[in-house]
Amino acid sequence: MRSKPLSSFLNIMLVAFGTGILTILLLSSSQISEKLNKNSKDIDLVVGAKGSPLQLILSSIYYIDFPTGNIPLKDAKELSANPWVKRAVPLALGDNYNGIRIVGTDSNFVRLYDLRLQSGKFWAQDFETTIGATVAATQHLKIGDRFYGAHGLTGSSDVHKTHAYKVSGILQAQGNVTDNLILTNISSVWKMHDPAEEKEHEHTDKKEEHPEIQDKEITSLLIQYRSPMSVVMFPRMVNQSTNMQAASPAMESTRLFSLIGVGTETLQWFAVLIMLIAAISVFVNLYNSLKEKKYDLAIMRTLGASRFKLFLIVIIEGLLLTLVGTVIGIAFGHACLGLIGHFQESSQARLSGTIFLKDEIYLLIAGLGIGIFAAVIPAVQAYRSDISKILSKN
């Protein structure tokens, strides 16, 4: 190893690169699925406007995509009163503050996510808000501060200047989406879009009506079932008898994963391929250096080393190369993920590089396996070498 620093370096880099990719895949997929599960923990069903069920789940549970549209409040109320429903949480989306979504909802939301206050109180009056822990930290908002919401889910080009929101409470960190939300009541969201007041506000297309306001509409409804029996019946009932759609978070998450899965699988094979190339490269390195070291090894035999000892020496060299590579790779993977998390825009699914998994042990074992695999042929050769021949050739 010391005699060929460059090729050893190449071996270590290859192993490290392969392990690094696998580490990133392993960590990110486990973190994402954990985050997804945590956020949809107690929600059995989401009811919203017809459209893509995945989009409905993404917008109403993970607050990532745009909502599918609106549903009439009247219909939502009817569903909430259904005997199968244990709890129904209405959501009214549509505004943001510096990219953070403002969610109009009621006290059921608090119970659904089991929210606790860090300071202040929950929203009660119109335009009062309770903000997530991360929001308070990143936007430097304190209780009593006022801010203006902007129309849309991102960007602040179209600010609702007529009403200012006021911070009345800050939530404890929950470790889920609520850390990154601004909660208020539904009527605040409605009032923001009230055409009477909107008129004062310069609006480019005044003719475009806001039907969501006229007929009192909300974005979606999060539903908890009373009994598991409803799993089959309730979604079918919603989809067939109303003009709304029902989507199950569990089912859609699975579907989402099978979609992402194709990509991660390709990357996985790519990483495995790199590991394979690394194994061949370690093998070639050991094989070539064996030619040069043959004499050294023969001398060691004359000094009393057994055949088995030479075998071990070559195996250990291979192990050392891949072990160093694997450790660097795992560290590299964590660093990369930390970096990705640092520059990530969507704070809902931020990745962290400081979480270690048990599965990483398998990566280490795989690295060692590759070392042994690559070293075994050169090691057997070292074991079998005829030292009399090597010494007399000189």
Partner 1 sequence: MVTLKTVAHRYNNLSEIIFENWQVDKTQQWLLLGESGSGKTTLLHILTGILKPSRGEVIINETSIYQLGAKKLDQFRGQHIGIIFQRPHLIKSLTITENLLLAQSLAGLPLNRTRIHEVLDSLDVASKKKAYPSELSQGQLQRVSIARAVINKPSLLIADEPTSSLDDKNTNAVLNLLLKQSELNGSTLIVATHDKRVKDAFTNTYELK
- The footprint of partner 1 on this chain (CB under 8 A) covers a number of residues equal to 20
Taking CB atoms within 8 Å and a gap of at least 24, the contacts of 133-137 are 133/170, 133/171, 133/172, 133/173, 133/174, 133/179, 134/173, 134/179, 134/180, 134/347, 135/100, 135/179, 135/180, 135/181, 135/182, 136/167, 136/170
Q: Which is nearer to partner 1, 226 or 309 (CB)?
A: 309
Considering only residues 364 to 393 of the shown chain, the ones binding partner 1 according to CB under 8 A are 387-388, 391-392
313 is an interface residue for partner 1 by CB under 8 A: no
Q: Which is nearer to partner 1, 347 or 385 (CB)?
A: 385
358 is an interface residue for partner 1 by CB under 8 A: no
Q: State which of residues 144, 303, 343, 358 lies at the interface with partner 1 (CB under 8 A).
A: 303
6 is an interface residue for partner 1 by CB under 8 A: no
CB of 3 to partner 1, least distance (A): 6
Segment contacting partner 1 (CB under 8 A): 5-13, 127-135, 240-248, 291-299?
291-299
CB of 289 to partner 1, least distance (A): 11
354 is an interface residue for partner 1 by CB under 8 A: no
CB of 298 to partner 1, least distance (A): 9
101 is an interface residue for partner 1 by CB under 8 A: no
Q: State which of residues 151, 255, 309, 350 lies at the interface with partner 1 (CB under 8 A).
A: 309
CA torsion sign for 336, 341, 346, 349 is positive
Closest CA to 350 of 154, 91, 134: 134
Q: Which is nearer to partner 1, 160 or 301 (CB)?
A: 301
225 is an interface residue for partner 1 by CB under 8 A: no
Q: State which of residues 214, 240, 354, 394 lies at the interface with partner 1 (CB under 8 A).
A: 394
Q: Which is nearer to partner 1, 258 or 302 (CB)?
A: 302
Q: State which of residues 145, 307, 338, 340 lies at the interface with partner 1 (CB under 8 A).
A: 307
Q: Which residues lie near partner 1 (CB under 8 A)?
A: 2-3, 295-296, 299-309, 387-388, 391-392, 394
